[in-house]
Chains A and B, each alone.
Chain A
Amino acid sequence: MSVDMRTYLAHVELANPITTAAGCAASGDELSQFVDLSRLGAFVTRSITMAPRAGRPTPRMAETPSGLLNAVGLQGPGVDVFLERELPRLVDRGARAVVSIGGGSVAEYTALARRLADAPGVTAVEVNLSCPNVEDLGRVFARDPAAAAEVVSSVRATMRYDVPVVAKLAPDAADIVAVARACVDGGADALAMINTPLGMSIDVDTMRPALAAGTGGLSGPAVRPLAVRCLWQVHAALPGVPIVGMGGVFSGRDALELILAGACVVSVGTALFHDPYACLRILRELEDLLKERGFERLADAVGLAQRPPGAGPRHRIDLEESSL
């Protein structure tokens, strides 16, 4: 018996829970040399901005223990080129496109949402809240519940009603549950976490910061415990809200850990740099692990670690309804 791997991102059904993570799969052309994008649960684009962006200077990447620091700076072609070239190619390849958007002001997010509202083939919109708010001294939207909620509600109001809006949260907020709750109150249909926390590395040979930008986002297995903690806290506080989990998922076991903490979709990011086949390998490993543990449906594992001890999958009948 195979495991039913279907999952829901708000009301949208995905064939399986494994997606790429924003900013880790470029336009899709690169990954499609290796894997059939239509076999992913969804393809999450890099964060699209209104204008083309050249990003940050190099060096943009530094390896740290079980992690990577990066400061790419949302390099991308801008929304016009994205809609004209990249999105249609994703749709042609049969990928379900979750479009990540990034901006420096509420107006910019709203304008992006307006551009996406008429575009065919947008499965969901992910709002990257880790961008600096130029109207608020460069403070990151995700650190402030009110600023995050303002962006989300503005995107929600602009986007077509049938396209879920996913708020992507940063782990280095003072109170991630407060930010999550504000986003949901603002109209977010789902939450994604975690974006990369800020880190820094100094090259002791050159005695200079390893990244040109100084600080960068930390990703990879090093941040997985942070992701699990954030998922756990937010799922406990908002059990009905679907969560896209990510943070150092390199194997099926890692994906299962996030699912047990409360994720119903799992994104693969840094692992794609290590293994271009990572998404499909992790999906296969996850399915095997669920089967070994007696699950018939992925949905039964979501948030299971939060339920009382002894409430295993075989006693499913006694359990409360799945959060899906």
Chain B
Amino acid sequence: MKETAGTAVQVTGTVLTTRRVDAYHALTVVAPGIAERFRPGHFVTVAVGGPHTSMPARRAFAVHDVKPDYGGTVELVFAVRGRGTAWLAERKARDTLDLVGPLGRPFPVPRDPAACVLVGGEYGSASLFALADVLQRRGCRVDFVLGAASADRVFGALRARRMGETTTLTTEDGSLGLRGRVTDALPSVIADARADVVYACGPMAMLRGVTAVAVEFDIPVQVSIEEAMACGYGVCMTCVVPVIGDDGVTRMVRSCVEGPVFRGERVRFEDIGTIPFDALGAPGGRAQEGGAHTRNVS
């Protein structure tokens, strides 16, 4: 098992079950090869539209769960947001799917037992449960904070209540849990749990807010980023985000292969959608790796 971890494979998966979970769709696919290589935080890409598709870009999905049944199954949770996800939502049991995975860098897990707060926004919380499993098996304390705009868009509340030491739910319309955002509830959860680390998965604005809270508490934060990508394995160069490296230099790195999990404070959230002027290779900016330009230390 160990030597296969991390290497991606392309498999033809067979849909085992499909179900609606509130506002989302959950698809369980028999995908031997991917399931046994999976680590929490990995994602898969799916070809959509069938053999003569007019949709050349693959769709990327975080993996909610893997099980050893039927030689290995993976479960994907997604919202219908366009033609590709609409096609995927129409799949039925026994349909086949072209999957590539597992892809990306998984969540790093602490060596020793630690108190971990897992923050999920919308269906981003789907990828936190496999992580919670691994953390608990290592003796970690796990607390959940899950949020969304409304009650039907909060994913996994029940499972979080079963697994977590505490579970805090937030909705912007107040239809479930506390009225507000996950970042409103997060400081007290971190304080009560005496958290050592925060893990987060969800929309970019949420990750930015969660990172700010964790930085305030001076604890590490691991965020899983979802940026639009066409391939998922590093060749299309479309999913880049500005990330500060160990050497202090900002680079436009691919969220599919260098991510999707990054240390939150390394991601320049406020500069996403731009090329920061001081990024390596930015127009008119830093030209050479370790070149004459010196970093502004303020």
Contact = CB atoms under 8 A, between A and B. Distances in A.
A6 B274 CA distance: 45
A60 B57 contact: no
A58 B233 contact: no
A46 B237 CA distance: 11
A30 interface: yes
Given A65-B54, A221-B56, A54 B288 contact: no
Interface stretch (A144-152, A233-241, A270-278, A300-308): A270-278
Contacts of A29: 234
Contact of B272 (A53, A56, A58, A81): A58
Interface string B49-72: 000001111100000000000000
Main secondary structure of the interface of B (DSSP, over half): loop
Interface residues of B, number: 42
Interface residues of A, number: 46
A110 to B, nearest CB: 19
Interface string A26-66: 10011101100000000000100001111111111101011
A55 B282 CA distance: 7
Given A51-B281, A55-B252, A273 B57 contact: yes
A24 interface: yes
Contacts of A46: 237
A70 interface: yes
A300 to B, nearest CB: 29
A272 B100 CA distance: 12
Interface stretch (B107-115, B143-151, B223-231): B223-231
Given A26-B234, A52-B287, A212-B273, A66 B281 contact: no
B284 to A, nearest CB: 11
Interface string A231-260: 000000000000000000010000000000
Interface stretch (B18-26, B121-129, B188-196, B238-246): B238-246
A58 B228 contact: yes
A52 B281 CA distance: 5
B100 A276 contact: yes
Nearest to A250: B56
Contacts of A55: 237, 240, 252, 275, 281
Contacts of A273: 56-58, 230-231, 235-236
A230 to B, nearest CB: 20
A63 B57 contact: yes
26 contacts: A26-B235, A33-B7, A33-B233, A34-B8, A34-B10, A52-B287, A52-B289, A53-B281, A54-B275, A54-B279, A58-B238, A58-B241, A58-B273, A59-B273, A60-B240, A61-B228, A68-B56, A72-B237, A77-B281, A78-B281, A273-B231, A273-B235, A273-B236, A274-B57, A276-B100, A276-B235
Given A58-B272, A270-B56, 5 more contacts: A33-B7, A34-B233, A272-B231, A273-B230, A273-B235
The 8 closest A-B pairs by CB, nearest first: A52-B281, A61-B238, A30-B234, A273-B231, A54-B281, A60-B238, A66-B54, A273-B230
Interface of A: 23-26, 29-31, 33-34, 46, 51-61, 63, 65-68, 70, 72, 75-78, 80-81, 212, 220-221, 250, 270-277
